[in-house]
């Protein structure tokens, strides 16, 4: 939805100018469209990454709390609620938060790098 909204907000004059100049549509996509939707694309990828790292309910419900398919969120909940190990559960939750924060910072910093292909 975020990417669709970004695509709908693109200015049409850039595409008209590219069509008049005879630029190939694939080149228009990589040189015009992709740079213009990059912020929305970054937000969408970060949201998906955060959802993938913090997944709890789907794994917990579908696998009947199996040890073979335990995510970090399920582990933290198990330590906090089932075993009453507040220290381990809090440490696991903090580690999950730091992992999510590190992944987000790394993604944002790597997306700002410009790779020159001369």
Each residue of 23-43: pLDDT tens digit? Answer: 999 999 999 999 999 889 988
The domain total for the chain is 2
Report pLDDT for 114.
Answer: 59
Specify whether 32 is located in the same domain as 45.
yes
Cβ neighbours around 113 below 10 Å, total? 6
Give the range of the structural domain holding residue 24, as residue numbers without chain letter.
1-53
Which runs of consecutive H residues, i.e. helices, occur in the chain? 2-8, 12-21, 25-28, 34-53, 57-62, 72-77, 86-112
List pLDDT tens digits, range 54-108: 888 888 888 877 788 888 888 888 899 989 999 999 999 999 899 989 988 998 8
Among residues 85, 2, 6, the alpha carbon closest in space to that of 46 is found at 2
Specify whether 41 is located in the same domain as 64.
no
Whether 53 contacts 100, CB under 8 Å:
yes
With a cut of 80, say whether residue 115 has pLDDT above it.
no
In the three-class reduction of DSSP (H, G, I as helix; E, B as strand; rest coil), residue 63 is classed as coil
Which of 5-9, 59-63, 112-116: highest mean pLDDT?
A: 5-9
Specify whether 70 is located in the same domain as 47.
no
Of 20 and 114, the structure prediction assigns the larger pLDDT to 20
Report pLDDT for 53.
Answer: 81
């Amino acid at each position: 939805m975020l990417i669709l909204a970004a695509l709908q907000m693109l200015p049409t004059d850039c595409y008209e100018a590219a069509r008049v100049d005879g630029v190939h549509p694939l080149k228009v996509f990589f040189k015009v469209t992709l740079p213009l939707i990059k912020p929305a694309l970054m937000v969408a990828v970060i949201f998906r990454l955060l959802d993938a790292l913090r997944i709890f309910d789907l794994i917990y419900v579908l696998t009947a709390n199996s040890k073979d398919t335990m995510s970090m969120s399920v582990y933290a909940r198990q330590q906090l609620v089932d075993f009453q190990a507040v220290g381990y559960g809090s440490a696991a939750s903090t580690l999950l938060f730091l992992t999510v924060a590190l992944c987000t910072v790394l993604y944002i910093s790597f997306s700002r790098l410009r790779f020159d292909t001369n």
